[in-house]
Chains A and B, each alone.
Chain A
Amino acid sequence: MLSNIKRTPGEKLFDAVNLLLVLGISVLILYPLLFVLFASMSDPRQMFDNPLLLWPKGFTLQSYSAIFENRDIWVGYRNTILYTCVGTSINVIMTILGAYPLSRRRFFGKHAFTFLFTFTMFFSGGLIPGYLVNQSLGIVNTIWALVLPGAISAFNLIIMRTYFQTQIPHELEESAYADGCGDLRLLYKIVLPLSTPIIAVMILFYGVGHWNSYFDALIYISDREKYPLQLILREILIQNSLKEMLTVAVDDQYGDRMIAREGIKYAIVVVSSLPLLVFYPMLSKFFEKGIMVGAIKG
């Protein structure tokens, strides 16, 4: 193996420089995330005076307790959990049902269906025609406008099909089929139990998408009670408005409240992103495999 061959001095230097560069890049990538985590646990006043942080400054959790009192955030959190669970379930079931027949060799019409599905990746009706369709279906301002229009990503469907095609032994299906096992039972009893890695990847891909999406809700959801967390975040982080949390009166404590509000922003970023940042390293093995399969052109 090449790794056992002795390195020349030049190659040692190369490796050292490479290591330093990668460490530097990793710090650059990680620092903004750590900064927010530290800032959320810092005293907002000290943060305001000097924002440079390498660790929490004046440790306090007061920003977090302020979040707990904000109703908007918790309603948004609840809605996002609902949309993510319902949406991801629909995504995964629909993608499996669409991908499985395309993976079968004897499926008559395979190419026509594949073309019909993949063409949508490259050309679409656009924002307004899509909006009009949802309007005529009467799903505007309901959860269905968020979970149905994106029920299948053609890209994920192709990854899934490629997995079924390459990872499930063909003989297994044929013998089950010869034993009189129907297509649906075959899918349920044989194919799915062998496909847990790719299903985990799909749950992650679609789940992250639902958790993080804001634009569909911005267009389709007008009722504040139905806002997902990301729209609440948009108001607080981007549009800079914190309703209910701070009274607008300009008095002695006005400055303090403005500063406290900066602390709340850091804490809300942590609260909203933590579920994903905790889960992804655990699932990373799975989706690296999923990408590997998807990288094989099918």
Chain B
Amino acid sequence: MEANHELSVRRPLARKAKLNDVSKRLKRNLGLYLIISPAFFYFVIWHYWPLYGIQIAFKDYMPALGIGGSPWVGLEHFNRFFNAYYFWTILKNTLGISLYGLLVGIPAPIVLALMFNEFRNKRFQTLVQTISYAPHFISVIVAVGILFFFISPTNGVINALLGSINGSKIDFLAEPGYFWPLFVWSGLWQGIGWSSLLYTAAMSGISPDQYEAAYIDGANKFRRIWHVTLPGILPTIVILSILSIGGIMNVGFEKVLLMQTDLNLSTSEVISTYMYKSGILDAQYSFSAAVGLFNNVINFILLLTFNAIAKRAGQTSLW
């Protein structure tokens, strides 16, 4: 009783002191709040205000009525999307292209970085590495343009080679079966060098002592790579993999859009290109917002799941 009484007297005082403390700290940081305010307002306007607009996925959005005033329709747009005959095709394409891309795109830069790392001549290493990420700096339009130069059925290099070998030519963009490999391998060409840079940076952080110790213990080159280099870059591998898994539903949508033709739609239509066409081209705002929301929620769930798995496994995680 006695103790309780004392507490109830003290509590308002403590709260007051805490409030004082808070206002003091706020005042002390006034300058910093002013500095951060443009960034704060930027994120509120262009990243949090759109979250308010997500509700149109459950509404029948009419521009004249505004976001708030449009009538609710519940899950109508989602039902229409899930029941459409193309739903399973575009889901399969989205996941298929992404997984194919991850399967190729995650290990390849690691292997390349390991190969670079074995060079004793560091200036030579810098040279080949700089060459390897040159394609990163060209735009996706130019990259696809260059791809078209090579695969063109009339005057492309690849078809000229095929023609001289067995006399037949392939119209790669008209054959649905070629879309996934074309997309993934041209992406590897553009991205492998740049992605390997992150691993090289991580490798340069491994202490030379570890390599010497391994050498003295009689470990050969492969064993040194396996037991020293790879564990050293494992946190980087985990973080980058989680991030790419979190982007699984997004594919390289800007590039898919460029490589699509009417003839390869059966393997090239993905959720995001579909969202773009129904939303921007056909102005079905609500339906497209529903498709987009479905996409983002799946992405977010995948990210959380893989982050949790990495954490469980005792590995680095995003947070």
Contact = CB atoms under 8 A, between A and B. Distances in A.
Interface of A: 1-3, 5, 8, 10-11, 14-15, 18-19, 21-23, 25-26, 28-30, 32-33, 35-36, 39, 47-48, 50-53, 94-95, 97-98, 100-102, 104, 106-109, 113, 116-117, 120, 122-133, 137, 148-149, 151-152, 157, 182-184, 187, 208, 211-215, 219, 230, 233-234, 237-238, 262, 265-266, 269, 272-273, 276-277, 280-281, 284, 288, 291-292, 295, 297
A30 B134 contact: yes
A269 B43 contact: no
Contact of A238 (B36, B144, B275): B144
Nearest to A236: B145
A127 B155 contact: no
A237 B296 contact: no
11 contacts: A18-B115, A18-B118, A48-B155, A122-B246, A126-B275, A129-B52, A133-B45, A230-B139, A233-B139, A238-B258, A297-B316
A25 B67 CA distance: 53
B300 to A, nearest CB: 5
Contacts of B22: 108
A51 B157 CA distance: 5
Interface of B: 22, 25-26, 28-29, 31-36, 38-40, 42-43, 45-54, 56, 67, 112, 115-116, 118-120, 128, 130-132, 134-135, 137-142, 144-146, 148-150, 155-157, 160-161, 189, 192-193, 197-198, 201-202, 204-205, 208, 211-212, 215, 220-221, 235-236, 239, 246, 254, 257-258, 272, 275-276, 279-280, 285, 288-289, 292-293, 295-296, 300, 303, 316
A14 B221 contact: yes
A126 B43 contact: no
A35 B142 CA distance: 13
Contacts of A277: 134, 137-138
A153 B198 CA distance: 18
A273 B142 contact: yes
A233 B148 CA distance: 13
Contact of B139 (A122, A151, A211): A211
Contact of B149 (A15, A116, A265): A265
A84 B88 CA distance: 40
Q: Which of A53, A102, A183, A295 has the most CB of B within 10 A?
A: A295
B35 A101 contact: yes
B155 A130 contact: no
Given A52-B161, A128-B285, A238-B144, 5 more contacts: A29-B135, A108-B29, A187-B35, A212-B142, A291-B201
B113 to A, nearest CB: 11
B26 A108 contact: yes
A107 B254 contact: no
Contacts of B148: 237-238
Contacts of B293: 126
Given A129-B289, A266-B149, A98 B144 contact: no
A25 B139 contact: no
Contacts of A109: 29, 33
Given A129-B50, A273-B137, A22 B115 contact: yes
B192 to A, nearest CB: 7
Given A47-B155, A126-B50, A22 B128 contact: yes
A28 B190 CA distance: 11
A47 B160 CA distance: 11
B31 A184 contact: yes
A131 B280 contact: yes
Nearest to A21: B115
B292 A128 contact: yes
Nearest to A3: B120
A28 B145 CA distance: 17
A149 B312 CA distance: 36
A133 B53 contact: yes
Contacts of A157: 39
Nearest to B197: A291
Contacts of B142: 212, 233, 237, 269, 272-273
A218 B25 CA distance: 46
Contact of B292 (A116, A126, A269): A126
Q: Which of A19, A51, A230 has the most CB of B within 10 A?
A: A51
Contacts of A281: 130
A10 B220 contact: yes
B39 A152 contact: yes
Contacts of B26: 108
Given A33-B135, A106-B28, A212-B138, A292 B201 contact: yes
B141 A262 contact: no
Nearest to A132: B53
